[in-house]
Structure 1
Amino acid sequence: MTEKPKLTLYLAAPRGFCAGVDRAIKIVELALSKWGAPVYVRHEIVHNKFVVDSLRDKGAVFVEELSECPDDRPVIFSAHGVPKSVPAEARAREMVFVDATCPLVSKVHVEAERHHQAGLQMVMIGHIGHPEVLGTMGQLPEGEVILVETVEDVATLAPRDPERLAFITQTTLSVDDTAAIVAALQARFPAIIGPAKEDICYATTNRQAAVKAIAPKIEALLVIGAPNSSNSRRLVEVGKASGCAYSQLVQRAEHIDWRALSGIRSVGVTAGASAPEVLITEVLDAFRERFDVTIDIVETARENVEFKVPRVLREA
């Protein structure tokens, strides 16, 4: 029997589920136990195929629009948030609905509303087409939120009044990239008002900091997460920017490219905020099958955030 090659796995901590994702999944599970199947969910509750498939097996039906839902079954809005028009339509149809929007995304919605009422036009830093961006922009009338994705976009911004501006951001962005865009905004529009506390959420910030801490120790980084998960894709970018040339997103252990890892002696493992711990365990087990593994946990923060589920689901 050939001896397995030695490998050190640097396991980033924190990693995986954040409080908003945990709450959103609980909301679907509690709704199923309260009202029975089917319960409809507008958009993937969180961006992770494993999570969505397991909830589908329990009786959740995932749709993209409210028009696909019957009036007489409960509907849940995903953790990413929805435009104001969606709950308005649900009320008009007298539907039972539960909003699973992450409280940290809701905080950005409230911020946008407050600035709008003060007569300011909003600049949103975010990724075009992402459900969180669509939901946040949909809090205000059309034209009241201008989206910027890059530093270059700032140069071509044409606001209504450069003296009456505020900015908000998507909660799952790269901390470093966003800082550069904010600096460009402040240089071009000195009067622009920013959030009292940054909009990028604690979980996104913590996971990126943990990747930066392990990057100098590793030859390759694996980020467990979904291709449509913004925070997971940012972790891959942070790994590359921190000097880890081989930085890859994998949905599950079966997607690991073992040939690319041959001869490597140190690998970093982290997971996006919507990836469950079971997928991390699966990846670690796959490494143990092939290597003589030593695990080194690199912890940069401790998280004890918890968000309550809506009252309607706390009542029997």
Structure 2
Amino acid sequence: MSKEREITPGQRTRLERRNLEIEEVWLAGNRGTCGGVEMTLAVVDRVMEIVPENVTVYTNNAPVNFPDAFSHFGERLKNVKGDISLVPDDSVFIVSAHGVPPSTYDDAKKRGIIIIDTTCPIVLDEQQKVRNAAADPNIGHVVFIGKGSHPETIGVKGQVDERAITVIDPEKEEGDKDYIDIQDVNIPDNSLIIAKTTYAPSFIEKTIERIKTINPTVDASRAHSCYAVSHRQFAGRQMIGDVDFWLVVGDESSHNSGKLRDIGEEHSKPAALITGPEEIDWSWFGEGIRRLGVSSGASVPERFTQRVLQPFRDLGIPVIELPKAVEENYRMFRQPNAQLDALRQRFAVN
């Protein structure tokens, strides 16, 4: 555990002027980007270095669910929000970490579009599980837990005939458009349950419990969160009892960041989800807020977390980085080097 300098009398005066009682900030050891996101970020940077500045690069979705990480590319990087028909023939197209259905690859090939595939290997494994289950006569049907409009769900659903998969969207509530009560869903015997990789483990478990009230024969043994989501959730739950306010860096579009914020609400602690220091409302930290807990979602590069911490450091508030609750000894996932080489050849870059 590393601790910064003590608060000086002058810094204490500045704290008092803000009416803050914060004595220290605890920073989660398990936080921020996972291996898949780091791979995607690195590949996008390489693509933008190879492609001339006057050439637009397209992507099916924000490459990862933290758009600020790509804002510096401006109009050079265009998100078509899943509609590949908006991508011109012979263009460069980045597949986001969430993946796409096979039809997207087929369309791109027909139209001479160069694909740079940054699909997370964990998502690719999930897609393979769905294909295997649909082809297995002892299973034959898949129940996928995922938000219907999310690109990962769209990519997974497109792997098999629509009759072989049922999507259950646990985020919809009664009164929402297209809401379907789980109790009204027909779930065949021995169906295999797969879950969107970025759902929190507790969220998946609660949904599985509801599904099993309909059909207890379902197999939920392969419904898992990715390691990074599980680790950030675990680390957050380890520290939440010792902090007075829970601050998470992440975008509202990121489900794993939202569920990380929800740890605070689940433990009756005030909490907020922000993308940068300009979103901090200092009135949050009123009377009794002496220790602030900070973490960041699996899509958030470390520099954005450090930006959020900087105003507290400027006030002289010590930032204490906690040891990792779970060791993460992964290597960054392999980049699509053959596709990048083809891109260099297209633009004659050495």
- TM-score normalised according to structure 1 size: 0.91
For the pair 1:60 / 2:77, whether they are aligned, the reply is yes
Q: Are residues 260 and 181 of structure 1, via their aligned partners in 2, closer, same or farther at CA, if it must alter by over 3 Å?
A: same
CA–CA distance in structure 2, aligned partners of residues 182 and 81 of structure 1: 24
Encode CA deviations 1:89-137: one digit per residue, 9 max, x unaligned. 1112122112211111111100000011114111111223122112111
In structure 1, what is the Cα distance between the partners aligned to 2:123 and 2:280?
32
Using the TM superposition, name which of 115-124 and 290-299 deviates more: 290-299
The structure 1 residue matched to 2:31, chosen from 4, 7, 15, is 15
1:289 to partner: Cα distance: 2.7
Match of 2:48 in 1: 32
1:34-81 per-residue CA deviation (whole Å, 9 max, x = no partner) reads: 343432222111111211203437x32322221222212211111111
Equivalent residue in structure 2 for 1:101, among 93, 99, 119: 119
Question: In structure 1, what is the Cα distance between the partners aligned to 2:317 and 2:51?
Answer: 48
Contact 2:249/2:274 (<8 A) preserved: yes
Gaps of 5+ in 1: none
- Larger strand percent: 1
Alpha-carbon distance in structure 2 between the residues aligned to 1:195 and 1:87: 30
2:209 is matched with which residue?
A: 183
In the TM superposition, residue 143 of structure 1 has moved relative to its aligned partner by 3.2
**Correspondence 1:146 to 2:166:** yes
Corresponding residue of 2:175: none
Aligned match of 2:136: 118
Contact 1:27 1:313 (C-alpha < 8 Å) held by counterparts: no
Residue aligning to 2:200? 174
Shift of 1:26: 1.5
The answer on whether the counterparts of 1:23 and 1:308 sit within 8 Å (CA) in structure 2 is yes
Give 1:216 deviation, angstroms.
Answer: 0.3
Q: Distance in 1 between matches of 2:144 and 2:90?
A: 36
- Please state if 1:214 is matched with 2:230: no
CA distance in 1, matches of 2:221, 2:93: 32
Tell me, yes or no, if the aligned pair for 1:47 and 1:226 is still in contact at 8 Å.
yes
Instruction: Please tell me whether the aligned partners of residues 32 and 300 of structure 2 are also in contact (alpha carbons under 8 angstroms).
Output: yes
> Following TM superposition, by how much is the alpha carbon of 1:257 offset from its aligned partner in structure 2, in angstroms?
1.2
Instruction: Output one character per residue of 1:205-225: Cα deviation in whole Å (capped at 9) or x when no partner.
Output: 000001101100011111100
Q: Secondary structure at the match of 1:168?
A: strand
Alignment deviations for residues 151-205 of structure 1 (CA, whole Å, 9 cap, x no partner): 994322213xx22411100001121121122233345323322344x43100000
Q: Confirm whether residue 132 of structure 1 aligns to residue 149 of structure 2.
A: no
Output the CA distance in 1 between the equivalents of 2:197 and 2:22: 38
Q: Is the 8 A contact 1:226 1:232 kept in 2?
A: yes
- In the superposition, the TM-score normalised over structure 2's length comes to 0.82
Counterpart residue number, 1:155: 183
Q: Tell me the SS of whatever aligns to 1:269.
A: strand
Local SS of the residue matching 1:188: coil
Q: What are the Cα deviations for residues 8-35 of structure 1, in whole angstroms up to 9, with x where unaligned?
A: 2111121011111111112212222334
Change (3 A) 1:6 1:190: closer
With over 3 angstroms needed to count, the CA separation of the structure-2 counterparts of 1:191 and 1:101, relative to structure 1, is same
* Percent of matched pairs sharing the same residue: 27
Deviation at 1:144, TM superposition (A): 2.4
In 1: Cα distance, 2:190 partner to 2:320 partner = 52
Q: What secondary structure, in the 3-state scheme, does the structure 1 residue paired with 2:271 have?
A: strand
The 1:167/1:44 distance shift into structure 2, 3 A limit, reads: same
Q: Which has more radius of gyration?
A: 2
Aligned length: 311
Q: Supply the AA of the counterpart residue of 1:222.
A: L
Letter in 2 for 1:193: D
What stretches of structure 2 of length at least 5 have no aligned partner?
1-9, 16-20, 172-179, 342-349
State the secondary structure of the residue aligned to 1:143.
helix
Hey, which bits of structure 1, 4+ residues long, moved more than 6 A?
Answer: none
Which residue identity lines up with residue 32 of structure 2 in the other structure?
G
8 A contact 1:11–1:298 mirrored in 2: no
Cα distance, 1:207–1:107 mapped onto 2, change above 3 Å: same
Alpha-carbon distance in 1 for matches of 2:159, 2:257: 25
Are residues 1:76 and 2:94 paired? yes
For residues 158-307 of structure 1, the aligned pairs below 5 Å read 158-159=186-187, 162-196=188-222, 198-241=223-266, 243-263=267-287, 264-290=289-315, 292-305=317-330, 306-307=332-333
Local SS of the residue matching 1:295:
strand
Q: 1:298: how far off?
A: 4.4
**What root-mean-square deviation, in Å, do the aligned CA atoms of Structure 1 and Structure 2 show?**
2.1
- Range with bigger deviation, 269-278 or 303-312: 303-312
State the Cα distance separating 1:272 from its structure 2 match.
0.6
The answer to whether the 8 Å contact 2:240/2:263 transfers is no
Q: Distance in 2 between matches of 1:296 and 1:76?
A: 35
